Each structure stands twice: as C-alpha cells, then as structure tokens.
Chains A and B, each alone.
Chain A
Amino acid sequence: MDTITFYSYKGGVGRTLALANIAVYLSRFDQSVCIIDFDLEAPGLPYKLSDFFASPIETGLVDYIYEFTSTGTVTRSLNKFLLKAQNIPGQQGNIWLLPAGNILSAEYWKKLASIDWHGLFYKEGGEGIPFFLELKEKIHKELNPDFLLIDSRTGITEMSSICTSILPDKVIFLITNNRENIEGSRQILRGIQKVKRLKNQKPIKVTLALTRIPFPQNNDEREIEQKIIEDIKRFLNGEVKNLDEQLNISDILVLHSDRSLELSESLRLNLENITDKPLAKDYLQLLAKNIPKKLVKTKINSIL
C-alpha cells in the first residue's frame, strides 16, 4: 500500500479535487484505493465524489478518534466507518472512503472540539503516534488497497502534521504563486525533509504542483509560466544555515486552471483526446510521478 498525502499550505488551490480525480483514475487503472478525508475542520472530499457514494455519512474519522480519546480503546473494525464507491464510469478497482463524519450533525462538531490533540501527542505517554499508524495498518489489513490517499488539513496544525509527517510515503504538495503561500510552503517542505521516520519507513518523497496557472496559449505565455516555475524553485531552494533544511527541488508540475471548473465543478473523467483537456492531462502527469513505472507504462503512456 502506497500512502500519498495531498497537502496545501492554504485552501482553495484544488487539492481535494486533484485527489478525487486521481482516485478515480487509479480505480480505472485497476487499482484499489482508500481515501481519507482528514480535512476535519472543513471536510469536502465526499462532495467531490458525491455521484459515487449514495449512502448518507453517519460516522467517520472524527468518531473513530473520539472513541479512542474518550475511552482509551481502539475500535476493532473500520467497517462501520467506511463507504464503498459505486457506479464510477470505467471503474475496475474499488474506492473506499473514510469520511470525516456526519458534518451536518451537532455531534460531529462537539466531538471534534473535544479531541485533545495536545494530549494525544505531547503529553507523556500520549499514544497519538501508534494510534494513527494503527489506523493506517488496519486499512492495509482490512482493505488491502494499492493506494491510500489522504486529503490533509491545510496550515500547520496537529491534524495536518499527522498527514504530512507520520502517515505518508509521498506528499503531493500544491502551491499557488503568491508570496505568503510560497513562504509558508517552504517552511513545511523543510519540516517534511527533517521528519524523523520510524523503523521501516523511508524518507518522504514530495511532488510539487503549482496551481491556478492559466494554460499558456502561445510561446510568450509558455515562457512566463517557465519563469514563474524557475523563480519559485529558486526561492524554495534558497540557501539555509542548517544543511538538513536545505531543499533541492528540481521539478515543479503545473495543474492549469480550468475556467469551466469555476462555473461548475466536476471531475475530469473523460480522458479521450487528452491534448484538448489540459487539466486532465496535468492530473495524469501528476499521477505518473507517484505510481510505479510499470503502471505508468501500461496505463498512462498510451493515454498521454
């Protein structure tokens, strides 16, 4: 199971939509996927895939965590917290969703507010680390998906840090071209680079994707896009005193903006004639960076 966190320092960059599209593509490529909505303060993942999850959300991750923090016990099976996607066009692999919970109920927000994140991690003997790793391994054991995709909370909080430090093998990091976003992102990227991994965990691999960039219509616009990318790279790779914080980012992908999404948000499901569909192509390129080469060769190259 490959665990990929989708993270952005600030919201509104298309993070959740990118995850939803990639989950559907993976399922079409005969890969089974589990997706987790970890954006607990502003959950959105089920909305992006609402056509495929018919049953109402009654419980979710917040209930799972709350049960642990209030009783000290770990729920044995994840079954009651999971939903299975249906009727995805071209679907071959399963998609399971672990939602944040029933956000329309007062209970959800009360439970979220009562979770003591500080106690989970910073109190002596706080069992947050084994608890969340047990959740991950339980997903592996119960569902055995090929991929676990996590929609992270934004910013720098315990909620987001679980997603960017404890759980992932890879992080797909979305940024936009403005100073506060890039500076905040650089802090996080340096942090990810320094995360102490547990036994059997490899260093976290990061793929950067720049969003909200219009698709270039001519060479001049292509040059502008390239210049923006180079400027961001230069800033991110800026020299630092502590060598363990020194970034060395060589590649930044672009998820081009799509005007039709602003008018009506939807998944980019049609992958035929991909050259006419810049965003779908961008998603596939992003996916190709994060899956085994064999899968890229057999499933993606022919489309691209």
Chain B
Amino acid sequence: MKIKFIAVAPYDGWAFIIKDEHLYLLRPPYQANDLIESSEKDLAVAISKYNFQECHSSFDNFEETINFLEEKYIKEMEKLGFSLPDTGELKSLIEYADEDILQDFLDKAEKELIPLRSLDAAESIALELIQLENVKKNQTMFKRAIEIIKKCQHERNELKRLLKKPIKFSQKYPNAIKMYTKKSLYESMNYICSTRQLLPIGM
C-alpha cells in the first residue's frame, strides 16, 4: 500500500493523499472510517482558498503517514509559539502552580492533546503532575491525571490496532469458513457484488 501526499495543511494536520489510485482527504484524529473521497476540484479549492501546500512525500503505510503529518503539525505550532514546554521547563512551570493552573494543564492534555493524538505530550504532562505534592494531596486531580495516562495508553493501543496490517480473511471469519467453506463465501460475495442484489427480485 503506497500513500502519496498531494497537499498538506500543516497548521491543522489535514492532507490530500492518493491511495489505491483514489484521492482522499485525511484529517485528525486519523480514523480509518474518516477518509473522505475527494475530487480534483476539492483539491484545487483547498490549495487556493485554505492554504494547503503542495507536498510530494510518499509512505508505505498509515503509521508513517500520520507521523509525518503530526511532525509537520508540531513544527507549525512551534512556529506559531504554541510549543509545549519540555520536561524541564514543565517541571519549573508547575512546581509552584495553583490548582487552577494545574487543572488547565490537565484540560489541555485531555481536551486538546489526546484528541490530536499528541499522546506523548499529554502523557508527560500527567506524569509530571502526579509527582507533585499538591496533586498527590488532591485525590480528584490525582485520579484525573491517572485517567489521562490510562487514556493515552488506550489510545495508543487503539491506534496500533487500526494501523496494523489488514487481518486475513480466515482470521476474521473462522466460524463462517468452517461452516460454509471459503470458496463458497467468495462465490457468494462475487455473485452479490455482480448482481447488486442480496434478494434477487425482479430479475
């Protein structure tokens, strides 16, 4: 599977890609069901009106494709001054922070970073926070930070699951194959696909 970029909007991580000879719009949070089939016209509008930039990189799978987009996004955010503090800076920022500020950090991790799949950033905020005495004393905040760490792990696993190679037919349908045979299932699929009718009415 080759994925070829045509145009990218690095400030929000959207991109036009070509996969299997079809043009798609890919956008965060990069769900498999969220690929939008697009036209040349859409692409032209995106470049002329929405600051999409031409891009000719190509990748072998979605994992690399998404990493590329996320890197571009982070660079863009850094340019705009939205960069996340590194761990050292973060420590000094939060050491004497009051509860409201700490809550803001948790909000940022949960509501902004996780949906954007910036999981490492979200997780490092939560990990730093749980080490703070103020957070350890505040059970609600402590639990929330733990939940964020768990959510990052869950999201990471989900992403891995989505991006891993397509599951083989025989792994997906072992019971159906045992009962009806693989050959018979394929014949039925092809027949229905060619007649475009599950129930043969009016033929």
Interface residues of A (CB under 8 A from B): 69-74, 114, 121-131, 133-134, 136-138, 140-141, 156, 158, 160-162, 164-166, 187-188, 190-192, 194-196, 198-201
Contacts and interface: CB of A to CB of B under 8 A. Distances in A.
B33 A114 contact: yes
Nearest to B167: A73
Contact of B199 (A127, A130, A164): A164
Contacts of B33: 69-71, 114
Q: Is the interface of B mostly helix, strand, loop or mixed?
A: helix
In this complex, which of B33, B167, B176 has the most chain A Cβ atoms within 10 angstroms of its Cβ? B176
A16 B198 CA distance: 23
Contacts, number: 111
A174 B61 CA distance: 51
A200 B181 CA distance: 9
A259 B136 CA distance: 67
A138 B174 CA distance: 9
B166 A156 contact: no
A158 B185 CA distance: 18
A71 B32 contact: yes
In this complex, which of B178, B181, B185, B192 has the most chain A Cβ atoms within 10 angstroms of its Cβ? B192
B180 A158 contact: no
Contacts of B31: 70
Contact of A125 (B178, B183, B189): B189
Contacts of B203: 194
Contact of A130 (B162, B172, B196, B202): B172
Nearest to B32: A71
Given A72-B32, A123-B193, A198-B180, A165 B199 contact: yes
Contact of B196 (A122, A137, A140, A200): A122
A230 to B, nearest CB: 26
Given A71-B162, A156-B201, A165-B199, A141 B175 contact: yes
Given A70-B31, A73-B172, A161 B199 contact: yes
8 contacts: A69-B33, A122-B193, A130-B185, A130-B189, A133-B180, A192-B199, A198-B188, A200-B179
Interface string B109-129: 000000000000000000000
Nearest to A121: B192
A199 B201 contact: no
Nearest to B203: A194
Interface in B77-120: none
Contact of B172 (A74, A114, A194): A74
Please list the 5 inter-chain residue pairs (A to B) with the smallest Cβ-Cβ separation, ordered nearest first.
A137-B175, A161-B198, A70-B33, A199-B184, A161-B199
B191 A196 contact: yes
A122 B202 CA distance: 18
Contacts of B189: 125-130
A103 B93 CA distance: 46
Interface of B: 31-33, 161-162, 166-167, 169, 172-181, 183-185, 187-189, 191-193, 196-203
A128 B201 CA distance: 19
Given A134-B175, A137-B179, A129 B199 contact: no
A190 B201 contact: yes
A156 B180 contact: no
In this complex, which of A122, A140, A187 has the most chain B Cβ atoms within 10 angstroms of its Cβ? A122
A73 B31 CA distance: 13
A207 to B, nearest CB: 18
A130 B176 contact: yes
In this complex, which of A114, A126, A133, A187 has the most chain B Cβ atoms within 10 angstroms of its Cβ? A133
Given A131-B172, A188-B199, A200-B179, 8 more contacts: A70-B32, A71-B33, A72-B167, A121-B198, A134-B176, A187-B202, A198-B180, A198-B187
B170 to A, nearest CB: 10
A195 B173 contact: no
B193 A162 contact: no
B83 to A, nearest CB: 33
B1 to A, nearest CB: 13
Nearest to B166: A72
A74 to B, nearest CB: 5
A165 B188 CA distance: 11
B171 to A, nearest CB: 9
A156 B203 CA distance: 14
Given A165-B198, A195-B200, A130 B173 contact: yes
